Chains A and B, each alone.
Chain A
Amino acid sequence: MLSRCSHVMLALLLVLGVVLVGCAKRPATTQAAAPSPTGAAATTPGATTAAAQPSSGGGPTSSSGTTSGGTTTTPAPTATPTNRPAPSEFAAVADLKDIHFDFDKYDIRPSDAKTLDGNAGWLKSNPNHLVLIEGHCDERGTNEYNLALGERRAKSTMNYLVSQGVQASRITIISYGEERPVCSQKTEECWAKNRRAHFLVKPR
């Protein structure tokens, strides 16, 4: 008569440390996130009501929301697509030149600042045009991070144009991350072309 234990011969050992490390329980804290060094916190809602509705309804809307603490009522971020001109309505114009960025950087290089000065001059002398700034990355790095990096490149570019006197209200930015390269080879020359801010315009 065999005992059940004999079946245990099937067992394999090498027990893995399948230790479920519980995340360190932290005491409740009233500390909010660190203050924004950009000062944006003053105009940023701590809690806002976001859209979460079927797209068949014609796109998201947003409305004023109250912070979860109920202490302040702040305007929601503008979420309606009507505030965002369709990128497809913009077209390239030869007078607006691309600028380029170093790997994993979003600061404006001195030589590119000269290019942007020229672009700012064109925009100021063509005040009836709106401009779309596209931020792009090379394929290195990973795509969600590059979406954020492209956003920063477009934003830096916008900030520079505003500092040169172009009205911020004329400028829309979009990041394509690494999703819209102009050059597909895996060479530094090609990657350098892809790390760019690109300009498109449309009449107001």
Chain B
Amino acid sequence: MSVRRPLVLMLIVSLLTVPGLWPVAPPPPAGAQGTEVWIKATGSGARKLNIAIPEFTVTTVSPGADAGTAGKLLASVAGADLTFSGRFSVVAATGAIPVNNPDALRQSWAEFAAAGAHAGVHGLVALRGDRAEVEMRLYDLTDPDHRMIASKKFELPAAQLRRLAHKVADEVALQFTGELGVADTKIAYVSGPVGAKEIVMADYDGAGSVPVTRNGSINLSPVWSPDARSLAFTSFRQGYPDLYRVFPFERRPEQTLAAFVGINSSPSFSPDGKSLAMTLSVTGNPEIHVLNLATGVMRRLTRHAGIDTEPTWSPTGRQLAFVSDRGGAPHVYVMDAEGANVRQITSGGFHTQPRWSPRGDLIAYTQRAGTHDIWIVDVDGSNPRRLTSGGDNQGASWAPNGRHLAFQSSRLGRWQLFAVLFDGSAPTPLTRGQAESTSPSWSPRLP
């Protein structure tokens, strides 16, 4: 192809204008995988890296494969992922860089650099029958030679094109931050009105939702296992609230985990995936128990006349936070994994839904004060702060990097899922469906 298609710069959302004003970081250390860590920033207060993501270039289309809008879709999804991360401002463009045309590539990067971009992602897509391969090439546009600083190939079934874009975005995040992004993750949640709630799952950004349960009963509280292969949840499908486990990516039968007299609810996998904490009232009162998934041995952790429920593990597996009304109203408590050394973390008000951060330093919870809002508190109980406002906000779930939380909000009318950064900034809608969407569980990174 001899005629270069014009690249039209679409938008530059940038807080940065003069690179020279940026503080100069110390020389980057070589990362564990040879990755240079360039961004040591988080939260929305940080200035962002401007990254150009022109349409991906489709290099190969086998007969029968549909090139269609693949290049546009991949660039758009990867760009949205990087914007969502809070660390990048995306400089978008229409038109793809032609294949094997170094002059055109150089010219494009020069235009992007002039428009303020610091880095550029060039994606090369090969569609071969039912497989799709993407090669990501990352360029430093602050370098006059536009040096390529990383490249990586990903291959998946052609039906998972969006997932390829997520993988590209996560790799870009790794190159600049030293930590994989969280775009290649799923969110499981409850969909449907009161009385007819089913578990569904979707990409973290709400796209591509598929049913997980279809039993016509009431299904609640989905939670991912640490290997991201299974979900535990509460269901009334045998009449009573019992605990089940499903394997949404496999042909594997649903398991009944606990079906004792009384409630069987509030599942939480231990970080090693070997145990499941839960609430049982078989002893006459809601108490926290831990089920060893390999041996079937059930241990009881709490012994109190009040309500004890909603266990959540610390990332070390040595402690659990939970809700108890032993103080007169529900508050968050922490105990060790044997049930001893109980200490109260929150007080005053009405606090439920504790969720221990994967980084270990924070516990998110829901405070009721008329309506509900998501709060976080340091694990020693200090420094509680509110993350949400507007409408009713409940049911936080941490992203695996501990930077984002998903939650349900009524701020736009019916319940929908939103995400927010851990400093309360950048509230972003995740679902926009007709059905009520509640109780999100953000998966670990997919295997």
Chain A residues with CB under 8 Å of chain B are 2, 4-26, 29, 31-38, 40-41, 44-56, 59-60, 62, 65, 68, 77-81, 83-84, 86-88, 104, 139-145, 147-149, 151-152, 155, 173-181, 184
Contact of A8 among B24, B239, B307, B315 (CB under 8 A): B24
Of A6, A7, A145, the contact of B352 (CB 8 Å cutoff): A145
Could you say which of A44, A81, A144 has the most chain B C-beta atoms within 10 Å of its C-beta?
A144
Contact of A144 among B42, B87, B260, B279 (CB under 8 A): B279
Distance between B47 CB and nearest chain A CB, rounded to angstroms: 5
In the complex, what residue of chain A is closest to B335 when comparing beta carbons?
A33
18 interchain pairs, CB-CB under 8 A: A5-B24, A8-B28, A13-B41, A14-B41, A14-B47, A25-B318, A29-B338, A29-B341, A33-B301, A34-B304, A45-B298, A45-B300, A52-B293, A65-B298, A143-B220, A144-B221, A145-B309, A179-B220
Q: Which residues of A contact B234 (CB under 8 A)?
A: 144, 147
The smallest C-beta distance from A199 to any residue of chain B, in angstroms, reads 17
Say whether B63 faces chain A, with CB atoms less than 8 Å apart: no
Minimal Cβ-Cβ distance residue in B for A21? B361
Which of B42, B295, B325 is close to A14, meaning CB atoms less than 8 Å apart? B42
Closest chain-A Cβ to B368's Cβ sits at a distance in Å of: 6
Whether B296 lies near A37 (C-beta < 8 A) is no
What A residues does B226 contact at CB under 8 A? none
Known: A2-B144, A20-B361. A15 touches B379 (CB 8 A): no
B19 — nearest CB in chain A belongs to which residue?
A9
Taking A12-B87, A14-B46, A46-B300 as known contacts, 10 extra A-B pairs with beta carbons closer than 8 A to each other, sorted by chain A number, are: A9-B142, A12-B49, A14-B42, A20-B360, A32-B339, A78-B282, A151-B281, A152-B307, A175-B263, A179-B236
Classify the interface of chain B: helix, strand, loop or mixed: loop
Q: Interface size bucket, B side?
A: 35 or more
Q: Are A34 and B303 in contact (CB under 8 A)?
A: yes
The CA-CA distance from A37 to B323 in the complex, in Å, is 18
B319-A23 in contact (CB<8A): yes
Is A49 within 8 A of B265, CB to CB? no
B92: Cβ under 8 A from any A Cβ: no
Q: Which of B72-80, B102-110, B124-132, B284-292 contacts A (4 or more CB under 8 A)?
A: B284-292
Nearest CB in chain B to that of A173: its residue = B262
In the complex with contacts A143-B221, A145-B330, A147-B263, A12-B41 CB distance below 8 A: yes
- Smallest CB separation, B147 vs chain A (Å): 8
In the docked arrangement, what's the CA distance between A184 and B394, Å?
19
Nearest B residue to A34, CB-CB? B303
Query: Is the Cβ of B259 less than 8 Å from the Cβ of A51?
Result: yes
Q: Does B404 contact A (CB under 8 A)?
A: no
Nearest Cβ distance between residue A80 and chain B, in whole angstroms?
8
Whether B323 lies near A11 (C-beta < 8 A) is no
Contact of A15 with B41 at beta-carbon distance under 8 Å, contacts A23-B318, A36-B304, A145-B307 already known: yes
| Separation of A35 and B303 alpha carbons in the complex (Å) | 6
Q: Does B62 contact A (CB under 8 A)?
A: no
Query: Across the two chains, which residue of chain B brings its CB closest to A63?
Result: B296
By the criterion CB–CB under 8 Å, are A60 and B283 in contact?
Answer: no
Interface majority SS on A: helix, strand, loop or mixed?
A: loop
Measured between beta carbons, the chain B residues less than 8 angstroms from A155 are: 281, 284-285
Q: Are B298 and A48 in contact (CB under 8 A)?
A: yes
Q: In angstroms, how far is the closest chain A Cβ from the Cβ of B299?
A: 5
In the A-B complex, list the 10 residue pairs whose CB atoms are closest, starting with the nearest: A11-B25, A12-B41, A21-B361, A33-B339, A16-B42, A148-B286, A77-B282, A36-B303, A50-B298, A54-B253
B258 touches A50 (CB 8 A): yes
B155 contacts partner chain A, Cβ-Cβ < 8 Å: no
B336, CB-defined interface residue at 8 Å: yes
Q: Are B304 and A37 in contact (CB under 8 A)?
A: yes
Across the interface, A54 reaches (CB within 8 A) one of B142, B254, B341, namely B254
Chain B residues contacting A53 (CB-CB under 8 Å) are: 255-256
B385, chain A: closest CB distance, angstroms: 14
| B39 at the binding interface (Cβ < 8 Å) | yes
Contacts of B293 in A (CB 8 A): 52
Interface contact A77-B283, CB-CB below 8 Å = yes
Is the CB of B22 closer than 8 A to any CB of chain A? yes
Contact B194 A44 (CB under 8 A): no
Within the complex, which residue of A16, A33, A78 is in contact with B261, where a contact is CB–CB below 8 Å? A78
Tell me, in angstroms, the Cα distance from A79 to B289 when the chains sit together. 15
A50 to B282, CA, bound (A): 12
In the bound assembly, the distance between CA atoms of A83 and B238 in angstroms comes to: 13
Nearest residue, chain A, Cβ from B372: A142
* A78→B284 CA distance, assembly (Å): 12
Q: How far is the CA of A173 from the CA of B305 in the complex (A)?
A: 18
Q: Does B316 contact A (CB under 8 A)?
A: yes
Contact A141 B350 (CB under 8 A): yes
What's the nearest-Cβ distance from chain B to residue A61, in Å?
9
Contact B314 A147 (CB under 8 A): no
Contact of B297 with A68 in the complex, beta carbons under 8 Å: yes
Q: Chain A residues with Cβ under 8 A from B43's Cβ?
A: 14, 16
CB–CB B46/A31 < 8 A: no
A97 to chain B, nearest CB (A): 23
Nearest CB on B from A93, distance (A): 20
Contact of B38 among A11, A44, A49, A178 (CB under 8 A): A11
CB-CB nearest in chain B for A12: B41
Residues A13 and B23 in contact, CB atoms below 8 Å apart? yes
Give the residue of B283, B310, B314, B340 whose beta carbon is less than 8 angstroms from that of A44.
B283
What residues of A have a CB within 8 angstroms of the CB of B257 in the complex? 50-52
Q: Which of A11, A54, A59 has the most CB of B within 10 A?
A: A11
A52 touches B296 (CB 8 A): yes
Complex CA–CA separation, A62 to B280 (angstroms): 15
A56 to B439, CA, bound (A): 27
CA distance A178 to B194 in the complex (A): 8
